[in-house]
Amino acid sequence: MSIVMRILREVHSYSWPIKFLNLLVVAGVAAAAARFVFGLGATTNLNDTYPWGLWISFDVVTSVPLAAGAFTLGAVVHVFHIKKLEPLVRPAILTGFLGYSLVCIGLILDLGQPHHAFNIFLYPNLHSPMFEVALCVMSYTTVALLEFLAPVCEKFGFHVPLRLLRTLELPLIVLGAAIATLHQSTIGTFFLIAVDKLHNLWYNPLLPLQFWTSAVFTGLSIVIVEAILVHRHLKQPDETELLATLTRILPWFLGFYLALKIYALIFLAGRPLFDRPGLTILFFAEIMLGIILPLVLFMTKRSRTDSSIQLKAASLVVFFGLVLNRFNVSMFGMIQENQQIYFPSLLESVVTVGIIAAHILFFALIARYLPIFEHHPEGVDYTIPDRFRKIKKEAVPAQGALGMS
Amino acid sequence: MTEKKDYSNQRTFLIDLTRCTGCRGCQVACKQWNQLEAEKTTFFEGEGYQNPPAMSEHTFTKIKFRDYQRHGYNEFAFYKEMCMHCNDPACASVCPVGAFLKTPEGPVIYKPERCIGCRFCMIACPFGVPKYQWSKTFPFVVKCTGCYSRVKEGLIPACAKACPSAISYGSRSDMIREAKSRLQARPDKYFNRVYGMEEAGGTSVLYLSELPFLELGFRKVTARPLPSYTWAALRLVPAVFLTMGGSLAFISWLTHRKERLRREQEERNVREHGKEGQ
């Protein structure tokens, strides 16, 4: 009883935005339940013309690159050994883990035969991009879970698994990055089959490479957005100085992506290109607002020190460079001329809003209870063995002898 | 997927649309053989006299009506829409569980017990053939089966059996020969092309028509087999995985080695410094 009371009191103490998010998540869960009771046809606006709608376009095709921060930052920090960025890694891994878990949920919701999902293992088809992505998303979610377990073990003092996880840290990061490379690009491969369906502005054989590149810069941008929002709203330290390193890396990827886009458009894409004004506007919105403008912003000196410029540029990358691009490829660009237009149903929208709310909610709650932001290795010694607990460096005499003084 | 297969002996429909009278006996026969529900339809809901307006979970084949004028007279042209039973089907290649199978006899069949319901086949099909059971809570994909159950037993498909005039059924090479001889014999009567010869790398349904195919509502489809488009990227997967994993592992070994050497140097400095201090 007392535990229930404590939980209730704890929940009662949450701020109103958290409570509001709770409400959205509950609505989303109810809507998802309705989908299983009444079926896809009755609850969504999907039909034979639009077999894929909001759930695939957002919950899968867009959410996967939005969760790319974990693998990109993991590689930057651990592989390229830019150690000072380590405080950013745990929030990124948490975002990645939550993102992928919710992708799995979104995918299950969208399946017509979710109870047969296991058939993926029984009847694998190696020629299917969907098989490749399903396998990669499952294995990556597992890797992200293992990466995320470190703060959990620290919190509860599970020392033996913690030791194992620390040993595995680097191999997991490398494995995760390799797997993520595969499925981030293969989501682009999905649309290679849509020859004569996807509009020439987006259809080209380099689509997988474009998807991977945009996932990388989105991952880094998400880390920037997240760090700044967390600083402003969850009272965490200001990381502008660390983010400056990311703003130096980003222009390379943005520039490479822009070059890829232009090259593909001129040399690889079919013709005609600019026959549909609506699509042309969407395409240029994506390029101008999502790539060129943030590229210019990130090249300015001020973006190294001014967190509001960092936030602005990174949000542009996320919303126009990535989200708009994924919707252009998976939805708008697939609409044929004179075809009826699809709008997600209320229920579809409630589910997707619920998934986004769940992401933010779980992030805030996990950050509240687990050491996500306190991971500053320069101040805290994480080496094992130290009776497997965090010990301040100054407090350890053996370490003091080695000290820099 | 890359090996050249011989499709010349596969069972193939030759549908001569100039001989179609629009009786829709094929539609009825299809519904009967496949035990499909009737659809509630409204006249003139679709294009012209055609009914129902589109293929659906209850309708695997449909005669499309097109009104046009020739020499000032109103004319009808018809188009029997159905699964094209591609030689190298896109639906089979994208399906993660291999629920579609190109049978050696010719028809492309669907195994519902494997289907997980991702609907990638519907995105992939260049002809817009697979339809979904939107009326069901746990739906399957449905499409023309090429009457595989009949073909296996040596019968011809229900629609071909019912058709009084327009559908011939036989080996692909025979049907192509027949189509070409008809084109040659009456060049004035036919639009000079066989739809399905090249489309999507060749299909087991061939069409002859009087009107240009695109005007009749046929889709413009690439001649390259569709699975080759995705395979061009997918075949790189193992190489990309090994390259990415290998190079990241190598880079991290390098950076960590640098770090280790630096630390060792520092320790040595401290030790020497310490000695001097004593």
What is the tens place of the pLDDT at every residue in A295-323? Answer: 999 999 999 999 999 999 999 999 999 99
Of B122, B237, B252, the CB nearest to A182: B237
DSSP string, A57-78: IIIIIIHHHHTTHHHHHHIIII
Q: Which residues make Cβ contacts (< 8 Å) with residue A114, sequence separation at least 6? A: A108, B116, B117
Question: Does residue B205 register a pLDDT over 90?
Answer: yes
What is the tens place of the pLDDT at every residue in A232-263? Answer: 988 888 888 889 999 999 999 999 999 999 99
Does residue A314 fall inside a structural domain? yes
pLDDT score recorded for residue A30: 96
Does residue A134 fall inside a structural domain? yes
B205-208 vs B11-16, strand pairing mode: parallel
- Distance (Å, whole) CA A75 – CA A176: 9
Q: Which residues make Cβ contacts (< 8 Å) with residue A331, sequence separation at least 6? A: A52, A53, A57, A342
Of A126, A178, A197, the CB nearest to B248: A178
Total residues belonging to chain A: 405
Mean pLDDT estimate for chain B: 92
- Distance (Å, whole) CA A296 – CA A278: 26
- Distance (Å, whole) CA A227 – CA B240: 31
Q: Average the pLDDT over each of A72-86, A121-135, A379-393, B91-105 and give the range with the smallest value.
A: A379-393
- Bridge partners (DSSP) of residue B168 are B14
What is the tens place of the pLDDT at every residue in A177-210? Answer: 999 999 999 999 999 999 989 999 999 999 999 9
- Distance (Å, whole) CA B184 – CA B187: 6
As for how many domains chain A has, the answer is 1
Average pLDDT over residues B216-228: 93
Closest CA to A93 of A164, A133, A58, A145: A145
pTM of the predicted protein model: 0.91
Mean pLDDT estimate for chain A: 89
Instruction: Please judge whether A190 and B120 are an interchain contact, meaning their C-beta atoms are less than 8 angstroms apart.
Output: yes
Does residue A236 fall inside a structural domain? yes
3-class secondary structure, B247: helix
Average pLDDT over residues B52-62: 92
Is A221 touching B (CB cutoff 8 A)?
no
Instruction: Compute how many other C-beta atoms are within 10 angstroms of the C-beta atom of residue A336.
Output: 12
Does residue A400 fall inside a structural domain? no
B108-110 vs B100-102, strand pairing mode: antiparallel
What six digits make up the tokens of B63? 């005669």
Instruction: Please judge whether B140 and A112 are an interchain contact, meaning their C-beta atoms are less than 8 angstroms apart.
Output: yes
- Distance (Å, whole) CA B107 – CA B91: 13
Residue B129 identity: V
Is A47 touching B (CB cutoff 8 A)?
yes
Cβ atoms of B222 and B84 closer than 8 Å: no
pLDDT score recorded for residue A397: 45
Domain span at A350? 47-393
Is A84 touching B (CB cutoff 8 A)?
no
Chain B partners of A179 at a C-beta cutoff of 8 Å? 241
- Bridge partners (DSSP) of residue B45 are none
CATH number at residue A255: 1.20.1630.10
Instruction: Please judge whether A208 and B1 are an interchain contact, meaning their C-beta atoms are less than 8 angstroms apart.
Output: no
Percent of chain A with pLDDT over 90: 71
Does residue A104 fall inside a structural domain? yes
Instruction: Please judge whether A47 and B227 are an interchain contact, meaning their C-beta atoms are less than 8 angstroms apart.
Output: no
Is B265 touching A (CB cutoff 8 A)?
no
pLDDT score recorded for residue A388: 44
Does residue A20 fall inside a structural domain? no
Label residue B275 by pLDDT band (50, 70, 90): low
Closest CA to A43 of A26, A28, A57: A28
The DSSP element (H or E) to which B73 belongs, if any, is strand B73-81
Instruction: Please judge whether B237 and A190 are an interchain contact, meaning their C-beta atoms are less than 8 angstroms apart.
Output: no
What is the tens place of the pLDDT at every residue in A88-146? Answer: 998 999 999 999 999 999 999 999 999 999 999 999 999 999 999 999 999 999 999 99
Question: Does residue A404 register a pLDDT over 50?
Answer: no
What six digits make up the tokens of B102? 């190109």
Radius of gyration of chain B measured on its C-alpha atoms: 29
Question: Does residue A402 register a pLDDT over 50?
Answer: no
Of A193, A334, A402, the CB nearest to B230: A193
Closest CA to A355 of A118, A109, A130: A109
What is the tens place of the pLDDT at every residue in B98-151? Answer: 999 999 999 999 999 999 999 999 999 999 999 999 999 999 999 999 999 999
Cβ atoms of A254 and A287 closer than 8 Å: no
DSSP annotation of A84 = G
Distances (CA, A) of A265 to A210, A323, A388: 12, 20, 55
- Bridge partners (DSSP) of residue B206 are B14
Of A48, A124, A129, the CB nearest to B131: A48
Give the chain A residue nearest B225 (alpha carbons): A193
Q: Which residues make Cβ contacts (< 8 Å) with residue B36, sequence separation at least 6? A: B30, B58, B59, B60
Helix axes A240-263, A307-316, angle to 10 degrees: 30
Q: Which residues make Cβ contacts (< 8 Å) with residue A103, sequence separation at least 6? A: A59, A60, A63, A64, A67, A137, A141
pLDDT score recorded for residue A369: 87
- Distance (Å, whole) CA B150 – CA B118: 29
